[in-house]
Structure 1
Amino acid sequence: MRKAAALSGSAWRCAVSCRADVRRLVALVGLAMLLTSPLHAIGAAEPGKEPVVDPGACMAASEAHDADKVLTECGALIDNAKAARADRINALIARASIFITKGEPDRAIADYDVALQLDPTLADILNARGELYRKKGNRPKALADFAAALRLNPDHASARSNYHALAIELERLGAQLAVAGRPSFNCATARRAVEKAICADPELANLDREIDGAQTRIMREAVQPAAARALQQEQDAFIARRNVGFGRPGYDLKKEMQDRLRRLNGVDGY
């Protein structure tokens, strides 16, 4: 009985000691796993969490017109997907203004594109992007942006002015294209060699049409009848010299026509 009791007491002490050892071992293993885990490594950020970016730094740089800081501070804000939408839009607009001053319209347009994706109702940005497209020579896209800005805000004065001016410009260009390479007279009835030469050369044809247009304009605006008659006599004399001189050695038809156009445009300062 004593021996059995002694064994039982020894087994009990061993069990208690072993359980304590096991608990210490589990604790050590848990600590090791905690220290080595990439999710709980000392100094590691939580997965998917962007660093906090202060929008005030971007706006302060923009107000100070500090181009370098705008590019860094606003760039960090733009790239932070956790940043508020309004803050990202303001940062995009600020950075676009720097790209414009640096002569990089394509990068400014790209920032305006993102800003409009975040908020398609920004009439000011549509108008600003349209102005950049117009400077780049992309008139259709410019006109579309001005029109979109006006749809959002019919009272947008700048967009209305831009749309009106560009519409007139496109109309004028369309009219010019319609008559490009055509002289002021009907080539189907041309009989003189000089007229046939003008019809055969688009550059000479355009010069002839411009001369005729300038002559008509000046005649229409002439105040005194005597002045109008003098201008017509001068034009008739030019045509007569042109008809006689063409084909002779040393006669430069293009130069004579260019000189005549400069003379007409110089009459009233055009």
Structure 2
Amino acid sequence: MMDSTASRQEFPTAASMRFQKLLQLSGAVVLSALWLGAARAATGGEPAAAQIDVAACLSAAAADDMDKATPACAAVIDNEKTAKPDLIRALVARGALLAQHDQIDRAIADDSRALLLDPGLADVFNARGELWLKKGDKPKAVQDFGAALRIDPNHEKAKANHKAIARELERIGAQMAVAGKPSFNCAGARRPVEKAICGNREFADLDREVYAANARVLREARNEGEARKLQREQDDFIARRNAGFGRPGYDLKKAMQDRLQRLNGVDGY
């Protein structure tokens, strides 16, 4: 069996790919600083200030080494002299590492601080959106995915995330809109069982689910004959429900639950 370390190396995660980008940027910063220091020394200018070692933070985070990354990144993030670009890189790197280790709240805090420093980071908005999603905060997640897309309309991951969560929110909204409403119009309810269903949210939801499940199996029937047979079963259930309601021992909730289970079992659902 391939060990987990080899697997991570062969199939890099999105977070590790982001670390590689950060390391490349860090290298450019270090080279720039060295060139500037050499230029000042050659012209007799002031000596360059000591460079904060952001590369150590980035490399430790990319290697998923929490023991090394924790002090290395803290040294950069907590230093008041750290240049803004390096501070952002360290925050993003540490945030991604924390997310990998399921320290969601701390990861969100780092990403949020990075976004305050530079609100044009589409990748970080998307990353924070995924963290909000892990916390179950779908409204905040969709806001962050949307922010990423406003910055970069072609951000593929943000597009996929935004589409998926928007559909989920739409589905939840649709469910809330019909919650507590049965499959029929309560204004026309005449039978005692219909009035009981209209007066009980749980009964109303069950009635609507039974109706929807029956409609599904009818659509998926292999032929017209099978569809007629399935509809007769539903009609028989309604007739037994109407006749049995109110009699000693009749359990309306159980009758609807049994019918729903039978419908959902017709095609293996």
Provide TM-score, normalisation by structure 2.
Answer: 0.76
Shift of 1:207: 0.9
Give the aligned partner of residue 217 of structure 1: 216
1:110-157 Cα deviation digits (max 9, x unpaired)? 111011112111101111111222232322222221111111111111
Structure 1: runs of 5 or more not aligned = 1-49
* Partner of residue 249, structure 1: 248
Once the two structures are aligned, what percentage of the paired residues are identical?
A: 60
1:238 aligns with 2:230: no
Name the CA distance, whole Å, in 1 between partners of 2:258 and 2:52: 65
- The residue number in structure 2 matching 1:208 is 207
**3-state SS, counterpart of residue 248 of structure 1:** coil
Match of residue 149 from structure 2 = 150
- Partner of residue 91, structure 1: 90
| Greater RCO (Cα-Cα under 8 Å, separation 6 or more) | 2
SS of the counterpart of 1:165? helix
**Code of the aligned partner of 1:221:** E
Could you tell me which amino acid in structure 2 is paired with residue 244 of structure 1? A
- TM-score, scaled to structure 1: 0.76
Aligned counterparts of 1:141 and 1:94: Cα–Cα separation in 2: 22
In structure 2, the residue matched to 1:112 is 111
Deviation string for 1:179-204 (max 9, x for gaps)? 11000011111111111111111011
Contact 1:70 1:94 in 2 (8 A): no
Name structure 2 gaps, 5 residues minimum: 1-48
The alpha carbon displacement at 1:159 in A equals 0.7
Q: Give distance in 1, aligned partners of 2:64 and 2:148.
A: 27
Output the CA distance in 1 between the equivalents of 2:161 and 2:80.
Answer: 35
Number of residue pairs matched? Answer: 221
One-letter identity of the residue aligned with 1:121: G
Structure 1 pair 231–60 and aligned structure 2 pair: CA distance change class (3 A): same
Q: CA deviation at 1:76?
A: 2.1
| TM-superposition CA deviations, 1:240-262 (whole Å, max 9, x none) | 22122222233221122122112
Question: Against the structure 1 CA distance between its residues 252 and 68, is the aligned structure 2 distance closer, same or farther, given a 3 Å change threshold?
Answer: farther
The superposition leaves residues 35-80 of structure 1 with CA deviations (integer Å, 9 ceiling, x where unpaired) of: xxxxxxxxxxxxxxx9964222212211221122222221221111
Say which SS state the counterpart of residue 247 (structure 1) adopts: coil
1:162 partnered with 2:188: no
1:261 matched residue in structure 2: 260
Q: Which has the larger radius of gyration?
A: 1
Q: Which amino acid aligns with 1:57?
A: A
Q: How does 1:65-76 map to 2 (within 5 A)?
A: 65-76=64-75
Match in the other structure for 1:37:
none
Report the AA paired with residue 123 of structure 1: A
Q: Which runs of 4+ in 1 moved over 3 A?
A: 50-53
1:169 maps to a residue whose letter is: E
CA distance, structure 1, for counterparts of residue 106 and residue 138 of structure 2: 18
Counterpart secondary structure, 1:114: helix
Shift of 1:263: 1.8
Bigger shift: 255-264 or 179-188? 255-264
Q: CA RMSD in A?
A: 1.9
Task: Tell me how far apart the structure 2 counterparts of residues 104 and 193 of structure 1 sit (CA, whole Å).
Answer: 54
> Which amino acid letter does the alignment assign opposite residue 268 of structure 2?
G
- Give, in whole Å, the separation in 2 of the partners of 1:182 and 1:260: 18
